[in-house]
Structure 1
Amino acid sequence: MLSLPNVLTLSRILAVPLLVGLLWWPQWAAGYAVAFVLYCIVGFTDYLDGYLARSQGTVSKLGIFLDPIADKIMVASVILILVGTHDIEGLHVIAALIILLREIMVSGLREFLGALSVSVPVSKLAKWKTALQLVALGALILGGAVPDYPFVKAVGLAALWGAAALTLVTGWDYLRVGLKHMDS
């Protein structure tokens, strides 16, 4: 049950409070720098746990359950702290809200469809959405570490809007599939 891939997934969840703590003080550039390194490590373990589980044949129900939860916990936590520290502010909060609301909707939809034994596989576009979202948040964290380079934050905000656009498209795709299984 606690295979290496599952331990890596759990480590992502356990890293979130440390990540949030490092981002708590927006004027602390060193904290943002350490948070960026931690964020990159956590992002790599997201790739690594899936790769190891598939290559070693240790894909487990626990891993299938925890992996998307770990991703959502990290993304939601980082978005919330970056909004709280004003690294995401103004109209950019709308992009962050789109991402958060889609994650909640898809989670609820997956739970509903799971009870009907309907599986909704992750699309390639959804994987691109996730990658762009992770790049956006990483760039926003890095922007706090290097405040003298405002283009880093600008790249993060542009990627956040790109991720929000893909979020709308993939969210609609999932909802369309789900609606086919709902009573009228």
Structure 2
Amino acid sequence: MNLNLPNILTILRLAAAPGVVVMFLYFARPWADWFALVLFVLAAFTDFLDGYLARAWKQESKLGAMLDPIADKAMVIIALVVITGFSGMNPWILLPATLIIFREVFVSGLREFLGDTAGTLKVTNLAKWKTTAQMVAIAMLFATGAFEHYFGMQSLAMTAEMVEAAVFGDGPDPLGLWWKYQGMIVSWWGGIIMLWLAGLLTIITGWDYFKKSLPFLKDTRT
């Protein structure tokens, strides 16, 4: 195996995938949310960096080609499971997350069945946009979890009238509930929009991959 820097970055990204779960096992919220967000963003950045370095330094390898899609899928699937869990199985998250996970499992199984032939089915630009949309959505939803926790804990002892006055600027806001509420709303809707966009791109690219693989799935007749 060629353990050059691009491959090491890919391995670290793969290790970061279960690390997101570890954040919620060993840290209290909202620290777990922030740590998971930082870990996920850094891992997502290595997705761009390892490929760029491998091409720039001419260090592309079979190990990297094998691990890169596995690391991407592990990151996305594990993060979606965590987000779905702490969102209380919210249908706005659950449905696109299910579509994304289904597609990733289906395409992975298809690639395994096709074997060496799968290498001839190149990754499209639309598939790259799909991965980008997934990672942006997940990062924003991790941020939502942090903002929700701050807002919920700091407004716990306040009446509904006090919270409403602070949020809408009609009363004192010593705890900064306004910006926490804005962060929660913006990150939530931004994350949801990007997640549904990712879900749509996931279905389109999954169907495209399946359609391209059909000639290799036909039985040969003697």
TM-score by length of 1: 0.92
Superposed, 1:30-179 pairs within 5 Å as: 30-86=31-87, 89-116=90-117, 119-147=120-148, 148=181, 149-179=184-214
Native 8 Å contact 1:135 1:156 kept in 2: yes
Native 8 Å contact 2:17 2:71 kept in 1: no
Which stretch of the first structure deviates more once superposed, 164-173 or 151-160? 151-160
Amino acid at match of 2:55: R
- Deviation at residue 117 of structure 1 after TM alignment: 6.3
SS in 1 for 2:217: coil
- Deviation at residue 150 of structure 1 after TM alignment: 2.3
Structure 1 distance, partners of 2:14, 2:98, is 21
- Deviation at residue 25 of structure 1 after TM alignment: 8.5
Going from structure 1 to structure 2, the CA distance change for 1:26 and 1:103 (only over 3 Å counts) comes to farther
Structure 2 distance, partners of 1:50, 1:67, is 9
Gaps of 5+ in 1: none
* Runs of 4+ off more than 6 Å: none
* Structure (1 or 2) with the larger CA radius of gyration: 2
Quote the sequence identity (%).
41
Going from structure 1 to structure 2, the CA distance change for 1:91 and 1:140 (only over 3 Å counts) comes to closer
Aligned residues: 184
Aligned equivalent of 1:180:
215
- Deviation at residue 167 of structure 1 after TM alignment: 0.7
SS in 2 for 1:164: helix
Structure 1 distance, partners of 2:216, 2:192, is 36
Going from structure 1 to structure 2, the CA distance change for 1:23 and 1:5 (only over 3 Å counts) comes to same
Amino acid at match of 1:78: A
Structure 1 distance, partners of 2:119, 2:80, is 30
Aligned equivalent of 2:12:
11
- What is the aligned-residue RMSD (CA, Å)? 1.9
